[in-house]
Amino acid sequence: MRTRHDRTQVAASALLEQMRVLNLPFMLKNHQSLAATAADKHWSHLDYLTELTGAEAAARADRRVQRFVKQAHF
């Protein structure tokens, strides 16, 4: 029988793989530090996920602008 620690490790590993498959680089790099902030500030799960997904969306928008500027040869 797996211990709670073992199940947590398996879940964490699966989460990382899912973020890779879904191409979520900001979330992959920052989910742990943002989770620590969420714990320190007593955020709800919904608040944490809102911040994490919002930051991923903002990072994508930034990369899109950078790509367009590069393609425009500015």
- Domain extents in the chain: 23-72
Which amino acid appears at position 12 of this protein? Answer: A
Identify the band that residue 10 occupies on the pLDDT scale cut at 50, 70 and 90.
very high
For the chain, what is the mean pLDDT?
95
Identify the band that residue 11 occupies on the pLDDT scale cut at 50, 70 and 90.
very high
Question: Which pLDDT belongs to residue 42?
Answer: 98
- Total-model pTM: 0.81
- Give Cα separations from 11 to 6, 7, 23, 37, 67 (angstroms): 9, 6, 18, 21, 34
Which amino acid appears at position 47 of this protein? Answer: D
In this structure, is the dihedral angle defined by the CA atoms of residues 37, 42, 44 and 45, taken in order, positive or negative? positive
Place of tokens 């608040």: 47
CB 26 within 8 A of CB 33: no
Q: Over 90: is that where the pLDDT of 32 sits?
A: yes
